[in-house]
Structure formats: C-alpha cells, structure tokens
Chains A and B, each alone.
Chain A
Amino acid sequence: MRKTGVLLPLFLGVVLAQSVSGILGRVEENLSTPWQAVIQGKIQTPSGEEALLARVYALPKENLFRVEFEKPASLEGNFVVITEKEVWNYLFLTNQLVISPKEKAQIQGLGFTPLGDVKDLAERVSFRLVGEVRLEEGPAWKLLGQAKEGQGFAQMELYVPKADPRPVRFVFLDEERKVLAHLRVTSFKRAPLKPQALLRYPKDAQVVRR
C-alpha cells in the first residue's frame, strides 16, 4: 500500500507527460503539410496594449516558416522568415534584411511563430497538461508551458482542439502572471506553398549577416 502511495504520483506524472508528448505529436502530424493562417490579438508593448495581426505561412517538412506583420502599423511590412538554420528579419523602414544563425536570433515574444514547429517549441517551453476546456472550435486541451530563460515570457497557455489538433489560442504571461499577449489563430487553411514564395524579399534590401 505504502509502495503504491509512493508510486502513484510518479505513475500519474508519467501518464500526463505521455499525454503532453502525445498531444504535441498529434499537432506535429496534423501540421505536417503546407498551411497558412492569420494570428491576431492583443500584445503589450512599451507604449501600451496594441493590436497584432500577422500572416503565417508554413512549410513544415522544409522547416520553413514566414510571418508577415500587418499590425501594429509600425511593423507593417516587416516580416520574419525562419529556416532550418537561420532567422531572417526584414525591417521595412530601414529596408534591411538581417540574417542571423538561429542560436543568435532574437525571437523573443514570437513564441507563436513556430506554431507548427512543435519540436522547437517544446525545446524552449516545457509543457504540462492542465485539463480540457470548451472553445468555439470544440473541446480542447489546455497546456501550460514554463518558458526556459531568454524567451521574453515566463509562461504560455496553449489551446489545442481535440478534433483538429493544432494550436488555436496562445496566452503569454510574465513572472507575475500578467498577460503579455493574447493571440488567436484564424483563417487556417492548407495551401500549396512554394519555398521561393516564403523566402522572397525586396531585391533592394540591404542584407546584413550576423
């Protein structure tokens, strides 16, 4: 009996851990074909709360993602491309394309960008399953993630519908559980994307390699 009492939390821990990896595995499988989506919501910036609207394009098999910003207005025209080894930041106002190795890249606050790159996300955030909730999209798992250092946020809530396992909502929180960003994924669709389209940038941009 005593033994069972000691083992029970361990056993439950293993079951939950498996559940999280199982859910993330299903997300990865579900998002393994090319897709595009819109991410929108509110983010906290130094000047207060602002609306965020970004289009995400993904070629998961090629490890290629592109995020184009439309809101806030100060970021419109800026985009980020994440390749297997590099992060490209295009800055519209200075017309610069800053190319960094992934390990040097600044992607703080952009925890949603690799929303199809579950392995990468799981490396930066350790998730646990909190329970199930009912969303507009139907019953969904709620995962709570503890961010590793240097992510720009402390915790992350991730909502994954059971019927169509892919992230549909993200909530980023700081150490004091204050909401830094509340984002929703809309207009999700499978799309025949080409790598050249995701890697496209204005030819007159100044390319800066770090």
Chain B
Amino acid sequence: MLPRGLTGVGAVRKGVGMWLPAKSPSPTGTRSAPMRPRGLKGALILLFLGLPALAQTLTLGGYVDKSQLTPTLELSHPFSGFTFELRATREALGLGLQRALELGPIGRLAYGGLVALGPGGAGGRVFLQGGVGPVALEAALAYAALPWKALWVGENDPKGLSGRLKGRFRLSSREVLALSLAYGDAGLGLLPWGRPTWGLEGVYAFREGPTYTVGLGHRGGPYGLFGLKGELDEEGSVGEVLLRAGARTALEARLYTSIGEDALRLRLALAYPLYLALEGEWRGLGLEGACGQEGYALWLRYRWAFGSEGR
C-alpha cells in the first residue's frame, strides 16, 4: 500500500482500467474454499455477453495464481455526470461509481466508491483523490468481511479496515513534499509483499533537470528512500528508478515511452525478501506478473475503448 512513484510527479496508479490509484491489500492467510453464490454465474454470463455493448471501455483478461484461474472483466460507462464501473471474476462482482470536479488548469478532484461481492462476503471502499493548486490529496478507506484478494485479483489488503492517506504539497515551483500514512499491503505487485501493516512515509522531491527524491519511512522498521526521474528524449519518454532500503528493501524501475503513436509503459520491481514484479502495457494490451514467497501470479488483459475514449 505504499504509494508508488514518490517523486512528486507521476504518482498516479497505472494499469488498465484499475479502480483505485494504489494497489491494495494483502490477505493474511489462505482463504477458505470458495462458496459460489447461486445465480452469480448466470448473471456473469449475461454481463460478459450483454453489457460490453454499452461500455465506454471494456477490458477482458485472464488471471492465474496458485489458488485460482479466472477470467476478468472490467467495464466503465459515463452515466449522468458519473462514471459507472463494473468488474467481475468467476466468483466476485464489483460495482462502482465515481465522478470528478474539474477545475481546468487549477486542478481536479475525483471521488467515488465501490461495493464488491465475493464468495461468502462483501467489501466496500470510498476514495477521494486529486489536486488543487499547490496541494494534492489521495485518501481511501475500505472495509471488507473477507480479504480483498477474494474480491478482486491483484488486491492484497486484509479483511477488516484498510486505507491510506497521502498528501503532497508544492513548496515551490521545483520542490514537493509528500507525506503518507497507510494500513494494508505494500502494493509492490500482484502478490502481497510481506504482511499487511501500518506504513508511514515522508518524501522530499526537487526538480533540477531530473527530479531527485529522498525520503524516510517506517513499515515494520525504518527505511530510506532515494529516487531519480527524468525525461529521456525530446518525445517525452520518462525513466524512473526508486530504491527503498532498510527494513524494507525494494528497487523499482519504470519506463514510459512510445512505439509509433502508442504509449508503452514498463515497470520492474525487485525486492528482498525475494520478490519480483513485472508490468507492461501497450496498445490496450496489459501484462502483469509477480513471483515471490507466496508463489506466482500472472494477469493478461486487453482493453478496448469506444466513443470519445477512442483516439
């Protein structure tokens, strides 16, 4: 649940059609045998066949880890000033609404909520994120009767309460101060990394050509943070490396560039205790993979955009 991309810029969640800006959650243990709600399968078949026709974006995928193999479906559609979102796996269904307050060049505030139903339980969360002038805020609060992993693939927050609060303040035109407090998974990749716990992090980022980042955090012990981010060419390609070292040690590298007209996004995370996460996205095709002490996970998705979403 530690926020990604703490350089003060580019801290927003990547991913194809993901709901919230940070990866959540990490289950505290193995989950019980799945109980499939009656009728859910039929409803899901209808959803898979019918609703995509109404979607603004539609993402279909397949997810596999040691305990499950499931198709995934995500779709979003504008509705009366809101964006309606739906996501489904073989055993879980999530419905969400979000909207945003647009302030032009001054800023933007998005807010919304999600209700998710899974095998034998439900969960919900609300969020607010955005920035106005020199201040940006990211807040999310969630409660679930079962680990979030059972409600959506790749989410690893524990059952019960979880959440995060992160603020960024622009000290000057070149300096950003960020503070975050979170409870949940570290958010390094598809699989949990360590046990869900409290995390506190403070980061100072300054831009002098590239953006340099230094920070301190505490998550099961103290750690330091160092980052470097900068543009790599005239086309606006961006490279970023971020190292957390101490009680938590993880190296993350990101590359954002384009092949022809299409954006290519790559992310690699390497951590100790041993954990490897890889992500890539190009032309609507997304691939995420992770392996660590919990085994492995792989998620392949393809996203279609319709109407004004298409370019």
Residues of A with Cβ closer than 8 Å to B? 67, 69-70, 73-80, 89, 91-96, 98, 100-101, 104-110, 200-206, 208-210
Determine if B102 and A210 form an interchain contact, defined as CB atoms under 8 angstroms apart: yes
Instruction: Give 1 or 0 for each of B169-204: 1 = CB within 8 Å of chain A CB.
Output: 010110010000000000000000000000000000
With the chains together, A74 CA to B103 CA distance in Å?
A: 14
Chain B residues, Cβ within 8 Å of A109 = 104
With the chains together, A105 CA to B196 CA distance in Å?
A: 41
Determine if A93 and B9 form an interchain contact, defined as CB atoms under 8 angstroms apart: yes
Rounded to whole Å, the gap between the CB of B140 and the closest CB of chain A is 15
Determine if B9 and A73 form an interchain contact, defined as CB atoms under 8 angstroms apart: no
Chain A residues, Cβ within 8 Å of B49 = none
With A73-B172, A74-B133, A94-B130 known as contacts, the answer to whether A204 contacts B240 (CB < 8 A) is yes
- Which residue of the partner chain, among A80, A104, A203, contacts B105 with CB atoms under 8 Å? A80
With A75-B133, A91-B131, A110-B105 known as contacts, the answer to whether A209 contacts B170 (CB < 8 A) is no
Since A80-B104, A101-B308, A203-B256 are in contact, a sample of 16 more A-B pairs with Cβ atoms closer than 8 Å, ordered by chain A residue number, is A69-B105, A75-B105, A89-B105, A93-B134, A93-B135, A93-B168, A94-B108, A95-B10, A98-B108, A106-B102, A107-B104, A109-B104, A202-B9, A203-B236, A204-B256, A209-B309
Rounded to whole Å, the gap between the CB of A36 and the closest CB of chain B is 18
Chain B residues, Cβ within 8 Å of A202 = 9-10, 231, 236, 238, 256
Can you report 11 residue pairs joining A to B where beta carbons are below 8 Å apart? A80-B105, A92-B9, A93-B107, A94-B108, A107-B104, A200-B235, A202-B238, A203-B237, A203-B257, A204-B256, A205-B10
With A203-B236, A209-B308 known as contacts, the answer to whether A95 contacts B9 (CB < 8 A) is yes
Q: What is the total of A-B residue contacts with beta carbons within 8 Å?
A: 103
A79 to chain B: closest residue by CB: B105
Chain A residues, Cβ within 8 Å of B237 = 203
Which B residues from 253 to 280 make CB contacts under 8 A with A?
Answer: 254, 256-258, 263, 265
Determine if A200 and B236 form an interchain contact, defined as CB atoms under 8 angstroms apart: yes
With the chains together, A202 CA to B7 CA distance in Å?
A: 14
A-B pairs with the 8 shortest C-beta distances?
A: A106-B104, A74-B134, A203-B256, A76-B173, A204-B256, A206-B12, A204-B238, A73-B173
With A75-B133, A203-B237, A203-B263 known as contacts, the answer to whether A96 contacts B170 (CB < 8 A) is no
Chain B residues, Cβ within 8 Å of A94 = 11-12, 107-108, 129-131, 136
With the chains together, A19 CA to B143 CA distance in Å?
A: 66
Determine if A73 and B170 form an interchain contact, defined as CB atoms under 8 angstroms apart: yes
Rounded to whole Å, the gap between the CB of A117 and the closest CB of chain B is 17
Determine if B108 and A203 form an interchain contact, defined as CB atoms under 8 angstroms apart: no
Chain B residues, Cβ within 8 Å of A96 = 12, 108
Is B163 engaged at the interface, CB distance under 8 Å to the other chain? no
- Please indicate which of the listed interface residues B13, B135, B136 has the most CB atoms of chain A within 10 Å of its own CB: B136
A152 to chain B: closest residue by CB: B104
With the chains together, A201 CA to B263 CA distance in Å?
A: 12
With the chains together, A89 CA to B256 CA distance in Å?
A: 20
Is B25 engaged at the interface, CB distance under 8 Å to the other chain? no
Determine if B102 and A203 form an interchain contact, defined as CB atoms under 8 angstroms apart: no
Is B35 engaged at the interface, CB distance under 8 Å to the other chain? no
Chain B residues, Cβ within 8 Å of A73 = 134, 170, 172-173
With the chains together, A89 CA to B106 CA distance in Å?
A: 9
Rounded to whole Å, the gap between the CB of A98 and the closest CB of chain B is 6
B264 to chain A: closest residue by CB: A203
With A73-B173, A77-B173 known as contacts, the answer to whether A93 contacts B105 (CB < 8 A) is no
